[in-house]
Amino acid sequence: MPTEINNRVLIFLLISIGLITLPHVENVPVSIFAFFATMLVWRFVAVWKKNWLPHKILIFLLLCSGLILMFSQYRSILGRDAGTSLFVLAMGLKLLEIRTPRDIYLVTYLAFVIASSLFLYEQSILMAVYILFVCCVLLATLVTINSEKPQTWVALKKSATIIAQALPIAAVLFVLFPRVEAPRWMLFKNESQAKLGLNDTIEPGSISDLGLSPELVFRVKFNGEIPPPDQRYWRGPAYSYTDGKRWTHNSEFNINPFLDTPHFKGKAYQYTLLMEPQNQNWVFALDMPAKFSGNIQQNGTYQLLSLEPPNTRAEYQITSYPDYNTGKISTSEYGENLQLPSGSVSSEINDLVTKLHGFDQQPEVFIQALLEYFRKEDFHYTLKPPLMENKPIETFLFKTRYGFCSHYATAFVYLMRVAHIPARVIGGYQGGEMNKVGEFLEVRQADAHAWAEVWLEHKGWVRFDPTSAVAPERVEQGVNVERQVANQEVDFTPIISGNASWLKQAQQMWQTVDYSWQRWVINYDRANQSEFLSSLGINDIRTMLYTMLYIITFITAVLAWFLLKNNRRHADKVVLIYDKFCQKLAKAKLERHSNEGARDFAHRASRSLPEYSVQINTITDLYIQLRYGKNPAPQLYQQLVQAVTRFKLTGHSVNQR
């Protein structure tokens, strides 16, 4: 192995390292990435100024500095973020030690590890394509190291060919190789990066922040008919306790089962729900969920909770009924949903409840009167309501009258409780945009919503949405997320369908590709593998392994035949030209022996025809490079053809030696 490194190879490697590490600028601390970038630039300069390479003592001091920097950020080397930062630091320091081809191999292998670590942060199809590209570049680096005359495009073409040949076998292994689920204690936790979404507390105006976020929350694929917009309520946590301003999700109570079993009737909707990573283990099912997959449990407020880590993407099979009766509730649940802060009910509130017959009529009468009050009075729906620090319920009802869904839901529930009617706030999402290409619903943070539930005798918990009394378009048409985010204001403009613009169609097509990628590639876990293989008649691990072995053997045989055929075709052309050269020498009574190599034959022919020795050796060198060289240049074949064509013997005598 040569000890000198070609500068062209080294520059190619450094560019590759930069491309591989670049996406980690969002994943590691700025100080650590700056440390790596400094090392990379330093090594770039040292390509031309080799005396700038640090000696061992300086490298040791840099190592100590890097470790101090890392421990100041993480206090550990364990975990996803700390481990990734350690690899990035190690890569930066190792770049300064590149002096021999062996060092290039070590750096290249470390770069493959860093490239694979990108999947720990993002598993999108774009990231997969990017990683495939950088792996191709890394492989091209290895090709250039083993080339006598490194050529960038030739190396990239060769590496792309190798990857293309490996992809079929990789696909077979992905589909058929038994999938092993990691224990929960081994799963990486990423608590440092908070995500948007609903939380354990809700207060007037809290959800309005989500109304300006286009971030995807989940996607839903229905098995058949899709529910109408006014039934698309995606149920989340129930907020029962209030201090007069904030409403809190009581997680301790919610672990208890509900008293009565819900009764369902009417049309059932079966669907697959693909949840994006989030902070909570909440699964937002269509109200009301009746059946669900085994990796979900239901709490005492009918909310679904995932048993999977919340910061990972997960898929669930759910069946819901919009028409239901939850039945009776326990005494403790009844009391909890009447709770109000002591001494908090003002005379204005009491007067309003009295005016709307909340104390002297049936609950249904008061509910309709309150909804009519919201509908006819001068109430407005807005993303930017005024601040209400003190007595937010009274301020909203009697002064500002501008609010978002959380204002209306909390005020509605508060008035119900004043009238001694059990009620609670439900958080979740409402609506969703239909993707016409993939035929699935996309629900985003801008679809976040809050509504009320009231317990009625013989009916159980019944949903009421006071927002629909003020802004019925919110429920009937849904939010136009793109326009609302762009304009920073509520927008119910109907979403274009049918003859959609080409840009919208392209966007939905890409979202469909991404949805399929997430469902069939990223979420291809042990359960999905078992279901898929069972549909193909593969029901045990023995059949799975035999099938995998047969397919891989077949693919290998096809690739081997193709490669050998191409190599033989190339070799045959070279051999045919060389045979013409040997035939010309045979006319001078210089025949090549069957056990004689090309180099030995050239030596013998040169001794016999010294005046042709230069031509003989040139032709032989070209032949050996084309026949046995690692990466012969394409122009060498033409040079061989021309050299053999020009080689002519003029009847000189042959010295037989």
Which tens digit of pLDDT belongs to each residue from 616-628? 899 998 888 887 7
Q: What is the mean pLDDT of residues 499-511?
A: 74
Contact between 471 and 381 (Cβ < 8 Å): yes
pLDDT at 325: 94
pLDDT at 186: 43
- SS3 of 363, please? helix
> What tens digit of pLDDT does each residue of 226-262 get?
999 899 999 999 999 998 888 998 765 555 556 678 9
Least confident of 49-53, 581-585, 610-614: 49-53
Is residue 302 pLDDT above 80, yes or no? yes
d(CA 20, CA 335): 59
Most confident of 124-128, 258-262, 493-497: 124-128
d(CA 298, CA 257): 8
Rounded to the nearest 5 degrees, what angle is found at the Cα of 587, between the Cα atoms of 581 and 590?
A: 75
In this predicted model, which residue has the larger pLDDT, 321 or 257? 321
CB 337: neighbour CB atoms within 10 A? 23
Most confident of 326-335, 483-492, 499-508: 326-335
Domain boundaries, the chain: 7-176, 201-487, 545-646
Pick from 237, 258, 257: nearest CA to 248: 237
In this predicted model, which residue has the larger pLDDT, 493 or 446? 446
Pick from 112, 130, 141: nearest CA to 15: 141
What is the rounded end-to-end Cα distance, in angstroms, of the chain? 37
